Structure 1
Amino acid sequence: MTTTTGSVRPTAPLKSDAPRLRSPRRRIPGRPRRSVLLTVLTGVVLVYSLLPLVWLLISATKSQQGLARSFGLWFDGNFELWHNIGETFTYQDGVFGRWLLNTLLYVVVGAGGATFLAVLGGYALAKFAFPGKRAVFAVVIGAVAVPGTALAVPTFLMFSKMGLTDTPWAVIIPSLISPFGLYLMWVFATEAIPTELMEAARIDGASELRTFFQVALPLLAPGTVTVLLFTTVATWNNYFLPLIMLKDPDWYPLTLGLDSWNKQAQTAGGEAIPHLVLTGSLLTIVPLIAAFLLLQKYWQSGLSAGSVKE
């Protein structure tokens, strides 16, 4: 546009009325694609997994009469959770507390010992060469494939000859063997411990025992926690082995004790206590849930060990 003085001013560009074409959205490299079907299936699995826990939690808040008159997935008018917990620990002279201590004993000694033996064995198999190593590998893989129930009867016969049945050792000693934990630590130690680091420790004059505890063991922490969680869950939920090994109720774990409470209504003159069985079941799973939530960062990294080869 020209002014009266002859100077020329730049004119503003005219806006086009033509619609702009939207450029196609580009997918960011490395970002996973969203799948509606996978999301729906994940939601179904989540509901399927959490529904029994929700039912157990709601049922533990009801009295024995409330269980019969209310809907299973909704609360009763009276909230009886704290009363049920107190009655659970005082019923039959507080035998539930004894069962809880027995379970802790079996877990600490059995699962803890199984984890320590798995760490030692996995470290030795991963970092030392010796004759018969392939045979040991075949035995470990074969032992993983054998279910524990298949060995329960032979174990009972052997312990009966040794006079160890109806004692805590009948539950603790078989729990010390974990073929899957040994295999997992074998795989984890192969990738987690650099051979050069062990050689450097030996050059500095460290013994094999010191090299293991000060160099290797800290690197094996994620795998150790993973094996500890697996063996803890297996020992905590163990039912069949104590069932055939123990007769004295004072040595029952929680699984066997709650089952005896559940079955006592079927005996002559037995008292039905479903509200205490449900409350005891809720108290039984609380320590396992807490352990998984507190140690999840360790066992998740332990599970992924060895999945990618560099």
Structure 2
Amino acid sequence: MTGPSSPVTTASPTIPAPARAPGTPPRLRTPRVRTPRRHTAGRPRRSVLLTVLTGLVLLYSLIPLLWLVVSATKTQEGLAGSFGLWFGGDFALWDNISATFTYNDGVFTRWFLNTLLYVVVGAGGATFLAVLGGYALAKFDFLGKRAVFAVVIGAVAVPGTALAVPTFLMFSKMGLTDTPWAVLIPSLISPFGLYLMWVFATEAIPTELMEAARIDGASELRTFFQVALPLLAPGTVTVLLFTMVATWNNYFLPLIMLKDPDWYPLTLGLKSWNAQASTAGGDPVFHLVITGSLITVLPLIAAFLLLQRYWQSGLAAGSVKE
């Protein structure tokens, strides 16, 4: 019996454990597994290392272009008396451009037109032949197809410089050296472009679509131009960009094929200007060489900017299976 002043303690009621049937094992608590956070397409995972590497590649690509733009604004004396990555005391870009096109009786304009000729005929013809050959190899079966594939792969593996001397010896016997044909004819052959179009046409053109066009009475030529060619536009632009850059920057083949400066492309012409400083009594024109190099780069940049939407539209072709 407790007194009035002593506290009364009451035991808290205990909840009985649920009874289990005899012979059943005790239930174990399953640990909660934390599900990893999923990264959706809208919010990709960020990588600091990848960002740093991308920034380094961007700097490596843009610093030479920045140096070219800045140096093109300087005079011959300003190139040696100022920092390379910053502007000099005088802005001479427009004077340099005018002097580039008028120097030596305007031969730079002739070199520019020669380069356009080599690109339009050579690169354009190489792209068209690659599209035709790739389409035929991808969609038609014929005897010796595997042999053709082996020849194409072997031609891709052989560098163009290794074929320059044999090509020169063959063209010299034909009397084609020192003529534009010595540069145009080799430019029409693009083994890599042919292989690229072969692979692209295999996936880009459904066989059922070609059969439907033939059932409707379309000829093979009409099927190619109206059905297949629009589907090959991304691959065609890709091959065109590769062949155009290779022809525009072609140096070794014109060097061994051409002697007449009137048929020089821009690469060979600017090299001859640059070599004037090392000749006896030669006039150094480094500011014109740099300005001419800047003018040479601009058409390639414009071509990539104008054609990139056709190029990017085919990057994901065949990535989704229907």
TM-score normalised by structure 1 residue count = 0.90
Distance 2:297 2:321 in 1: 36
Q: 1:151 to 1:304 in 2, by over 3 A?
A: farther
Match for 2:51 among 39, 43, 53? 39
SS in 2 for 1:32: coil
Tell me how far 1:268 sits from its aligned partner. Answer: 1.1
Match for 1:137 among 142, 145, 149? 149
Distance 1:212 1:93 in 2: 47
SS in 1 for 2:178: coil
Q: Which residue in 1 is equivalent to 2:183?
A: 171
Tell me how far 1:306 sits from its aligned partner. Answer: 5.5
Q: Which residue in 1 is equivalent to 2:29?
A: none
Q: 1:50 to 1:165 in 2, by over 3 A?
A: same
Query: Structure 1: which amino acid aligns with 2:65?
Result: L
Q: Does 1:85 pair with 2:97?
A: yes
Q: Which residue in 1 is equivalent to 2:64?
A: 52
User: What does 1:299-310 correspond to in 2, within 5 Å?
Assistant: 299-305=311-317
Matched residues, number: 288
Distance 1:130 1:266 in 2: 58
CA RMSD of aligned residues (A): 1.7
Distance 2:216 2:115 in 1: 44
Match for 1:121 among 110, 133, 149? 133
8 Å CA contact 1:110–1:172 kept in 2: the answer is yes
Rg larger for: 2
Match for 2:111 among 84, 99, 108? 99
Distance 2:153 2:319 in 1: 18
What do the CA deviations read for 1:226-272 (whole angstroms, capped 9, x no partner)?
A: 10010000000000000000000000000000000000111111100
Q: Which residue in 2 is equivalent to 1:18?
A: none
8 Å CA contact 2:39–2:45 kept in 1: the answer is no
Distance 2:239 2:319 in 1: 16
8 Å CA contact 1:249–1:257 kept in 2: the answer is yes
Query: Structure 1: which amino acid aligns with 2:40?
Result: P
Q: Does 1:208 pair with 2:217?
A: no
Distance 2:246 2:314 in 1: 18
Q: 1:307 to 1:256 in 2, by over 3 A?
A: farther
Distance 1:159 1:33 in 2: 57
Q: Show structure 1 runs of 5+ residues with no match.
A: 1-22
Q: Does 1:278 pair with 2:274?
A: no
Distance 1:300 1:184 in 2: 16
Q: Which residue in 2 is equivalent to 1:148?
A: 160
Query: Structure 1: which amino acid aligns with 2:195?
Result: Y
Tell me how far 1:32 sits from its aligned partner. Answer: 2.7
Distance 2:313 2:171 in 1: 38
Tell me how far 1:24 sits from its aligned partner. Answer: 10
Q: Which residue in 2 is equivalent to 1:262?
A: 274
Q: Which residue in 1 is equivalent to 2:263?
A: 251
Distance 1:106 1:71 in 2: 37
TM-score normalised by structure 2 residue count = 0.86
Q: Show structure 2 runs of 5+ residues with no match.
A: 1-33
Q: Which residue in 1 is equivalent to 2:40?
A: 29
Q: 1:309 to 1:275 in 2, by over 3 A?
A: farther
Q: 1:109 to 1:154 in 2, by over 3 A?
A: same
SS in 2 for 1:85: helix
Q: 1:26 to 1:275 in 2, by over 3 A?
A: same
Q: 1:278 to 1:288 in 2, by over 3 A?
A: same
8 Å CA contact 2:75–2:287 kept in 1: the answer is yes
Q: Does 1:65 pair with 2:82?
A: no
Tell me how far 1:304 sits from its aligned partner. Answer: 4.9
Distance 1:308 1:41 in 2: 30
Q: Which residue in 2 is equivalent to 1:296?
A: 308
